[in-house]
Chain A
């Protein structure tokens, strides 16, 4: 729209009284903005219509803002409040304890372990995922037969819930009877203790994330690749650049903004990983292995809050995880800006 919505003129009074949003229409007070000489001639209906034009947009967007205030903003701020109290799940708020909860969490040996596990699983799942997804998108960005079918097929894992993925992969990575150890046995490799070995368990959990998200991210990259102007490739071909060379020198730099976007969204999601490691754990506690060799920070929040019933410490952990996400997002941002600068110089 290039011009402001005009005040209702004399002949647009045909609007049905049934149509408007009732909360606006029952406000008969005069519109302050239309205080000019014509005001006296405005009928009630005209004034209502002016109110409708002015207020309806705010009414329409208000559900989001109200809900975000209640379930987004307030909880984040209130988490800080809870974190400085002795606060039990059942008993409610207790004494003010200052930073005691933070000290307890930071001093807890499982905190550092969960922090390292979270970062390790995140790196093992995000780096290969981006590399494979970009390559896969490159394969799809050709004149394929049955294009939609290919795209749908690679998206299949996306409809499988993380809980189900964890159950299936937990079985495949079984220490004794698992298919993967059986297959390794055929080629003469000793069975790997996927659940007890720390690094092996991280690999297994990262493979769940990779399996579920790679196709999805490939489609995002594919969309970006299709927006690359085709004449860039034509001139590169004339210059004698091969396919791989074109992919590395044209496609990758052109889709860099999309890559940054995918990396940042997967950072926010990846650092909060919960369902996969929890269901990978077959002990009753489901805390991330007998020695928490694959416990993550979100699992620690759950453990503090709903096993140990200590909401104060759970909140302190949540804030520390929030801090970690902010720090890693900043690092991502700085690194990608640097990469962009390098790319621009080429």
Chain B
């Protein structure tokens, strides 16, 4: 509604934002004190000076750096590959004419409603047969292109690339791939950036599948945190310091690219 909001609106929004930030602050707060702080009558309001010490204990307790490296690798490779294959397929659906394209696109959209998480057992058997269990590739390969990515890029490219431009390139004798590379890819950049960020985040936060295929000594960050929580949950400072550290990379990414996140969601970026 188009009006100037009053104090009530700002007040409610501030309350909501504080509620959104408070648990994160709490995590850092406890992570920067010793664990005795939890037994105090009045909880602390300001961070203490023990964060680095707690972080050091995190590194000793779980293979944290290995987990970080794995998570960066898995998320980065998956996001890059999703963007490449989705742009390619999205370009074909948006700008190339071929028999059955309409029906195939409907099929792609329909697959988004299939809860693939329920196929974990056969997927695990398959990975075991291939000898990939335990390797980060078992986490990467199944998600190198997604229905959501294809549909998202298709929706963007339909309007972003004028048909005349493609016709002109074709008359000039460009092959289909060359048209893709020289015309569609440059136009797709803004949407590609959004898709990359979302995929990176989704893979970074994923838990169920990595828990099944990765062993304890070759974890992603989420799996390492699970080890920390299940083994040492009473050592609140240790666990929450670990939780804070694990959130830091995404937080930095979010602060740097929050605008894209927001516009991505508002353009119809959906879950899944």
A63: Cβ under 8 A from any B Cβ: yes
A residues 143-159 near B (Cβ < 8 Å) are 143-144, 148, 150-159
B153-173 contact mask (Cβ, 8 Å, vs A): 1 or 0: 000000000010011001111
CB of B7 within 8 Å of the partner chain? no
Q: Is A343 an interface residue (CB 8 A)?
A: no
Which residues of chain B have C-beta atoms less than 8 A from A301's C-beta?
Answer: 118, 120-121
Does A4 lie within 8 Å of B97, measured CB to CB? Answer: yes
CA distance A305 to B93 in the complex (A): 39
Q: Are B16 and A167 in contact (CB under 8 A)?
A: no
A72 contact set on B, CB distance < 8 A: 111, 114, 116, 119
Task: Give residues 49-92 of A contacting B (CB, 8 Å).
Answer: 49, 52-54, 56-58, 60-61, 63-65, 67-68, 70-72, 74-76, 78-79, 81-82
Q: How distant is B26 from chain A, measured CB to nearest CB, in Å?
A: 6
Chain A residues whose C-beta falls within 8 Å of the C-beta of B171 in the assembled complex: 12
B218 to chain A, nearest CB (A): 16
Q: How far apart are the CA atoms of A70 and B143 in the complex, in Å? A: 11
**Contact among A19, A75, A166, A302 for B123, CB-based, below 8 A:** A75
If A20-B175, A139-B5, A171-B240 touch, whether A160 touches B226 (CB-CB below 8 Å) is: no
How far apart are the CA atoms of A306 and B205 in the complex, in Å?
21
Q: Is the CB of A74 within 8 A of B13?
A: no
Q: How far is the CA of A170 from the CA of B263 in the complex (A)?
A: 32
* Residue of A168, A177, A179, A223 most packed against chain B (CB within 10 A): A168
> For residue B12, which residues in chain A have a CB less than 8 angstroms away from its CB?
139
Number of interface residues of B (CB under 8 A): 108
Within 8 Å of chain B (Cβ to Cβ): is A268? yes
Q: Tell yes or no: A193 within 8 A of B by CB.
A: no
Once the chains are docked, how many angstroms separate the CA of A166 from the CA of B250? 17
Known: A60-B92, A279-B226. A160 touches B24 (CB 8 A): yes
B52 within 8 A of A: no
Contacts of B111 in A (CB 8 A): 68, 72
B30 interface contact, C-beta 8 A: yes
Q: How far is the CA of A163 from the CA of B207 in the complex (A)?
A: 7
Which of A36-44, A113-121, A122-130, A214-222 interfaces with chain B? A214-222
CB of A204 within 8 Å of the partner chain: no
For B114-128 the 0/1 string (1 means CB < 8 A from A) is 111111111111100
Q: Is the CB of B98 within 8 A of A14?
A: no
A64→B262 contact, CB < 8 A: no
B55: CB under 8 A from chain A?
no
13 sampled A-B residue pairs with Cβ under 8 A: A19-B181, A57-B97, A61-B93, A63-B88, A64-B85, A78-B121, A162-B205, A167-B239, A171-B26, A220-B265, A243-B3, A286-B230, A311-B124
Q: In the complex, given contacts A12-B171, A75-B116, what are 15 additional A-B residue pairs having Cβ atoms less than 8 angstroms apart?
A: A16-B175, A16-B178, A67-B144, A74-B122, A144-B13, A153-B21, A164-B243, A169-B23, A177-B39, A179-B26, A223-B267, A268-B272, A284-B230, A315-B121, A315-B122
